[in-house]
Structure 1
Amino acid sequence: VVVSTLSSTPLQVLFYLNGWYFSAYFLAEGLMFVYKGLLLPYPPATLTLDGVLLLVFFGLESLRISYGWKGNLTECSLAMSVSVLVPCTVLSVYYLMLQTFVLRLEFILNAVLLSFYSLVLSFYR
């Protein structure tokens, strides 16, 4: 279903900033996994699962930003972007609270990412 709406400049800026932020987030999270794998008694199977989930998170977040970006520019429904937002939010909450070891930096990075998600939802019509 295509619903005609006006494109939103603040939403477009938010998608742009979210793209850059998630790139930095992905790099930082990957480096923290290396750190945790080397210095903390992290179970290898759990570390592998967390790494695979990070790659899935990267793919889903890339889809969400791409669909949202294009949907906003073409003034089409952003429903696809919002539908991908649910698994991204679940993965962010997992990295925020449910990992074996959660570093303070991970907590802060995920809290900021969840703030981006809430801002996107506030601009969604």
Structure 2
Amino acid sequence: MPTVVNSSLTYEILMYLNSFYFGMFAVCELGMGLFKATNLPSPNSGTTIIEFILLLFLITTEGGRIYLGRKGNLTERGLPIILGILLSIPSVLATLYFLFWQNYVLRLEMILCSIQLVLIVTELIISILCLFAIYRPSPPEE
């Protein structure tokens, strides 16, 4: 009898796609942040520094989330996937900050952040389904 494989191909494809997309997203966000810091008037320089620190925080949490999600899916372990789900919360909040709560939000940022949020939410739904598959009781052998 063949062994049941629980890892989700859909989840792996989404995480793989997001690893490349997020790299592009972070570079674009850094470039737009530099553009805004040099060309647009800012109420104070502290806000600009905080936004760059928040971008570094987002890069760290999203990188960890992608790594843990892929590792948990490929090894069929639930704990890394659960940790990846928990890291989705600060990633979503930081992306929402870049989408809505900055001093200046460029149209390109709105598009890129919206795509990033769709990817994160889709991966979150698929990761929960993957957890159900991992922790599903195995069928009784006859």
Tell me how far apart the structure 2 counterparts of residues 73 and 50 of structure 1 sit (CA, whole Å).
34
- TM-score with structure 1 setting the length: 0.94
Alpha-carbon distance between aligned partners in 2 of 1:89 and 1:83, rounded to the nearest angstrom: 11
Runs of 4+ in 1 over 3 A off after TM superposition: none
1:85 aligns with 2:88: yes
The CA distance in 1 between the partners of 2:37 and 2:82, in whole Å, is: 38
In 2, the alpha carbon distance for the partners of 1:33 and 1:88 equals 18
Cα-to-partner distance string for 1:80-106 (whole Å, 9 max, x where unaligned) = 110000010000101000001000100
Please state whether the residue corresponding to 2:47 is helix, strand or coil. helix
Q: CA RMSD in A?
A: 1.0
The answer for the alignment partner of 1:72 in structure 2 is 73
Mapped partners of 1:122, 1:49: distance in 2 = 31
Q: TM-score, length-normalised on structure 2? A: 0.83
Name the amino acid aligned to 1:54: L
1:121 CA displacement: 1.9
- Aligned residues with identical type, % of pairs: 33
**Which residue identity is paired with 2:125?**
S
Output one character per residue of 1:50-78: Cα deviation in whole Å (capped at 9) or x when no partner: 00110011000010000000000001111
Corresponding letter in the other structure for 1:40: L
Other-structure match for 1:16: 16
Q: Is the CA contact (8 Å cut-off) linking 2:88 and 2:124 kept in structure 1?
A: no
Q: CA deviation at 1:122?
A: 2.2
